Structure 1
């Protein structure tokens, strides 16, 4: 019998996520109360104003036709206004903005739109799994750039081999980072833009966590660099910034040729974002631009402090991240990422994700998602602290 599954499926995603899901089912079956700090999905909904806009739009029978792949002009104009408000970046809504069904939609399809099979793309290790998976789908060869703590999890651009740079079509980066919680400053992006010009690379920057920054830090857009729109595109999502993950709405902005290529591809594979969801997205960005608007950053900073300070007090030395909804925690000596994640779940009932789920360079870490209310996070910290006391002598904590 002919095989009904393509070979590329075996290369997609990480088996570790499925493995963790199975561990969780087993632990729940034992009657243990599980605190899930695994998947980075916001645990709160959008504001009342956004929910009302979505409800009213969903009741409008005229909004149930095909919405159009690129997004409504009203949505794209609002994206342009928000980018100007947030980053001081001017965008042409006609040629430099495309709506997406979540940033994963665009990230998974961009390589198909701007590369050919056999091309090379530069992606981070560790990195969000769709970065490498999208290359598998497109038949593109990945060059993995290691991101290490000694370099603040920034790529060492001058160490990328010349032959790779000659073949590469784009370089993909993500700051603030999932899973690393690392950040980049404007001087780094200035160097990156110069580097891209020198080597004829498209910069693909995922900035989905820009509104989750702490202690006064404001993550910049790569498009703030003068001339960056000639060589860069940027993905942003309303999922994390406005608690709209289930709505599936995001956008890509920047280099017009790449925007046009993604629009063309998507016009052949989908019909765009439901118009009611676009109305809600417009309302979310408008609300954010009003005086006195409340960002999600304060909520996640409190959660970060609860977890990091609590675990530090329990003897687990973890640096405080400047941004994102994650903590990238170095694990004790004597354990692998998978071993300690499994043991923590079976012993303490707390789900975290092994670092090697995000690439080879993720070994030695676990990712903790700040996606529970404060009382649950306090309980998770208490349980992990007890777990650490149990393993302390063995692990050297």
Structure 2
């Protein structure tokens, strides 16, 4: 019998396929449609002919591990041991799967905050665990009363995605303090911190689990270069965790993928000497601001966007349809593809919200906004 009997084609594939069929502007899937940095392309062109095409070490290319450790210390003032506390993964999704399947056993419970990225629950189910879905507040901030009430003697892990996909919200200092207060009572619970959008933040700084002295001894942090460097197809991510946790995850990783794409690791390792993540963040902020400005006179209500490259909107003043039907009509009749937020909830909560990806060229955003403003 299948371990995922209820899994179907993802909403991202459905919406992108529908967009292709109808020639719609695709703001659904979360990937950029603009060129990569010319410096990265030049590095790639040069090293493709070098002797870099065999397996890298299981834990990752040593030079890339060193660059990540340097960036982590620079950004968060945390010194990470590359030999014992880091692991290069085939994207953050594989890192998430590895972390969950290392520590979650049959009947263990994992708290997931809804709306949530769609890979968390299947990873828990494959491990034989029980996903416990806890809804965020109406403004997509964490509800710590609900989180604490969901904790039982079987709770093994809580998954925290910050900055948050799909809503674009960022946790505050008080949010972390509230979590710390709760988890002080439950020292056995692990944290999986999904921080793939850590370098795409706007109005307030991203607070990383790397900086939380009370929590980092039991936290596994999943990060990725795909979002920050506009190379989502390269699938290069990494995990940071204390040695005792990392030692166990390496065992699962070894038999899941063994090692990650060698070319991508080499290219990124060299490129990290050149890239400025602050510039990347400012670039995405300018796109967010452009998209918000273009829609300010539309009938969509724009929700707060603190980070990521997603803008959530409410369409209550336009239609009473459920969000999946409205999203499909948006493609077929108005030529713009978005993702309905209800698919990110276990109970399909429908608040008439859509998620647009603004990691697109300015021309694409302008063309999409013109259509959206006609509604």
TM-score (norm 2): 0.92
SS of 1:296's partner is: helix
The offset of 1:362, in angstroms, is 5.4
Q: How far, CA to CA, are the matches of 2:172 and 2:341 in structure 1?
A: 24
Cα distance change, pair 190–353 in 1 and its aligned pair in 2 (3 A): same
| 2:248 corresponding residue in structure 1 | 261
Q: How far, CA to CA, are the matches of 2:104 and 2:278 in structure 1?
A: 40
Residue 143 (1) aligns with residue 132 (2)? yes
Q: Equivalent of 2:33, from 37, 43, 48?
A: 43
| 2:291 corresponding residue in structure 1 | 307
* Alignment of structure 1 residues 288-299 onto 2, 5 Å: 288=275, 295-299=279-283
TM-superposition CA deviations, 1:171-230 (whole Å, max 9, x none): 001111110101112332233234334212111111111111124x22111120124321
Residue 273 (1) aligns with residue 260 (2)? yes
Q: How far, CA to CA, are the matches of 1:45 and 1:273 in structure 2?
A: 24
Q: How far, CA to CA, are the matches of 2:137 and 2:12 in structure 1?
A: 23
2:132–2:150 contact (8 Å) kept in structure 1 = no
| 2:340 corresponding residue in structure 1 | 354
SS of 2:220's partner is: strand
More helix by share: 1
The offset of 1:13, in angstroms, is 5.8
SS of 1:143's partner is: strand
Residue 27 (1) aligns with residue 32 (2)? no
Q: How far, CA to CA, are the matches of 1:56 and 1:22 in structure 2?
A: 35
| 2:189 corresponding residue in structure 1 | 201
How many residues were matched structurally? 370
Q: How far, CA to CA, are the matches of 2:30 and 2:116 in structure 1?
A: 14
Q: How far, CA to CA, are the matches of 2:142 and 2:308 in structure 1?
A: 19
Q: Equivalent of 1:337, from 323, 341, 346?
A: 323
Residue 8 (1) aligns with residue 3 (2)? yes
SS of 2:255's partner is: coil
| 1:174 corresponding residue in structure 2 | 161
The offset of 1:251, in angstroms, is 0.5
The offset of 1:365, in angstroms, is 1.0
Cα distance change, pair 337–69 in 1 and its aligned pair in 2 (3 A): same
The offset of 1:320, in angstroms, is 4.1
Cα distance change, pair 384–372 in 1 and its aligned pair in 2 (3 A): same
1:171–1:202 contact (8 Å) kept in structure 2 = yes
Q: How far, CA to CA, are the matches of 2:291 and 2:300 in structure 1?
A: 11
TM-superposition CA deviations, 1:129-148 (whole Å, max 9, x none): 00112112212100001012
1:181–1:324 contact (8 Å) kept in structure 2 = yes
Residue 323 (1) aligns with residue 307 (2)? yes
The offset of 1:161, in angstroms, is 5.7
Q: How far, CA to CA, are the matches of 2:333 and 2:36 in structure 1?
A: 34
Provide structure 2 residue ranges, at least 5 long, that are not aligned to the other structure. Answer: none
Cα distance change, pair 15–105 in 1 and its aligned pair in 2 (3 A): closer
Residue 88 (1) aligns with residue 77 (2)? yes
